[in-house]
């Protein structure tokens, strides 16, 4: 579409697009702004947009009252832990499927994806009971295990599509040049796949960070990540908009930033390659 467009047309579209873009983004913007207000100003009528006394007190209050950073840290551990563990299991599997495809490779891949389509509520009870008996309820370990398994199909799938773009001849060349399997993976495959592995990591950290079924059902005070911590604001006492906003801003900021880097991978990872 490298066609010259009349300036008037371009101006019109610029205005429409920005108005709609800001409207869609507005709830996030409003949350961020509110987090810097006092509780009084947060519910002021008419609402103040930019001209209020900016304060950081909500951020400190949230931390003091509820040990915010414990939950933040839980989110970090759970999302990174489950993703890294998933990658360690998935890289060899994706290598096998991409470079030594057999008759059943496609079936295995499809079967892995089908496990992702299992509704979590269908296995909630057994997992809950197994975790209860194993003492894994409300532990970070337990959540790391569940989220690793939850996201493993997506991780395998994404890596597979990235690995498949690496020509097999290059790995064969390495083999002819005297590289064993270990050298082949360390010196050739991994460096070539770094962008793909990084994208996979990024998308899965995002998915794990925002996961809100298992985190809500399997945790309580100790291992609750931010999803579950924020949920505790659903039954508030007194004025709480500004504090909710501060907690929310901190909870979504890291992922918003990561997310902006991962737009392309998002399509690839979440459509399982069905849309390119």
Name which of 87 and 140 has its Cβ closer to another protein: 87
Of 127 and 144, the one with the shorter C-beta distance to another protein is: 127
Q: Smaller CB distance to another protein: residue 140 or 262?
A: 262
- Determine contact, residues 158/113, Cβ cutoff 8 Å: no
Least distance from C-beta 116 to another protein, angstroms? 8
How many angstroms separate the CA atoms of 265 and 188, rounded?
22
- Exposure string (b/e) for 84-120, b if CB count within 10 Å is 16 or more? ebbbeebbebbbebbeeeeeeeeeebeebeeeeeeee
Least Å distance, CB 247 to another protein, is: 8
Secondary structure element (H or E) that encloses residue 55, with its range: none
Alpha-carbon span 218 to 44, nearest angstrom: 38
Using the minimum distance from each CB to another protein, give the nearer residue, 56 or 173. 173
Closest CA to 41 of 28, 29, 54, 32: 54
Tell me the C-alpha distance between 245 and 183, whole Å. 50
Kindly state the smallest distance separating residue 217's Cβ from another protein, in Å.
7
Nearest distance, CB of residue 64 and another protein, angstroms: 21
What's the min distance (Å) between Cβ of 199 and another protein?
15
Q: What is the CA radius of gyration of the chain?
A: 23
Least distance CB 97 / another protein (angstroms): 7
Give the residue with the Cβ less far from another protein, 53 or 234. 234
Residue 216 Cβ vs another protein, minimum distance, rounded to whole Å: 6
Between 56 and 239, name the residue whose CB sits nearer to another protein: 239
Measured CA to CA, the distance from residue 18 to residue 255 in angstroms comes to 23
Closer CB to another protein, residue 32 or residue 57?
A: 32
Task: Report, in Å, the least distance between residue 36 CB and another protein.
Answer: 14
CA–CA dist 273, 204 (Å, integer): 16
Pick 60 or 120: Cβ nearer another protein: 120
Cβ pair 79, 209 in contact under 8 A: yes
Half-sphere exposure of 89 (CA within 13 A, CB side): 16
Residue 82 CB coordination number (10 Å): 28
Could you tell me which residues come within 8 angstroms of residue 210 by beta carbon, excluding any fewer than 6 positions away? 227, 255
Helix (H) or strand (E) holding 179, with range, is none
């Amino acid at each position: 579409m490298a066609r010259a467009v009349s300036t008037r047309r371009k101006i019109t579209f610029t205005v429409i697009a920005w108005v709609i873009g800001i409207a869609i983004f507005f709830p996030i913007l409003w949350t961020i702004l509110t987090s810097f207000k006092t509780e009084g100003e947060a519910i002021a009528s008419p609402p103040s947009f930019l001209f209020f006394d900016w304060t950081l007190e909500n951020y400190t209050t949230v931390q003091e009252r509820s040990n915010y950073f414990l939950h933040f840290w839980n989110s970090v551990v759970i999302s990174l832990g489950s993703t890294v563990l998933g990658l360690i299991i998935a890289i060899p599997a994706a290598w096998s499927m991409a470079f030594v495809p057999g008759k059943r490779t496609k079936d295995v891949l499809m079967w892995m994806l089908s496990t992702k389509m299992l509704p979590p509520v269908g296995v909630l009870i057994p997992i809950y009971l197994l975790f209860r008996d194993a003492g894994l309820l409300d532990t970070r370990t337990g959540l790391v295990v569940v989220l690793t398994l939850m996201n493993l199909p997506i991780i395998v799938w994404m890596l597979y599509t990235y690995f498949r773009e690496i020509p097999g001849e290059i790995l064969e060349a390495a083999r002819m040049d005297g590289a064993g399997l270990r050298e082949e993976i360390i010196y050739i495959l991994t460096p070539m796949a770094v962008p793909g592995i990084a994208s996979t990591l990024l998308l899965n950290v995002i998915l794990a960070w925002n996961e809100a079924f298992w985190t809500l059902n399997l945790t309580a005070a100790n291992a609750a990540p931010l999803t579950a911590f924020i949920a505790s604001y659903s039954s508030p006492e007194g004025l709480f908009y500004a504090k909710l906003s501060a907690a929310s801003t901190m909870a979504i900021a890291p992922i918003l930033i990561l997310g902006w880097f991962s737009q392309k991978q998002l399509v690839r990872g979440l459509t399982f390659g069905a849309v390119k």
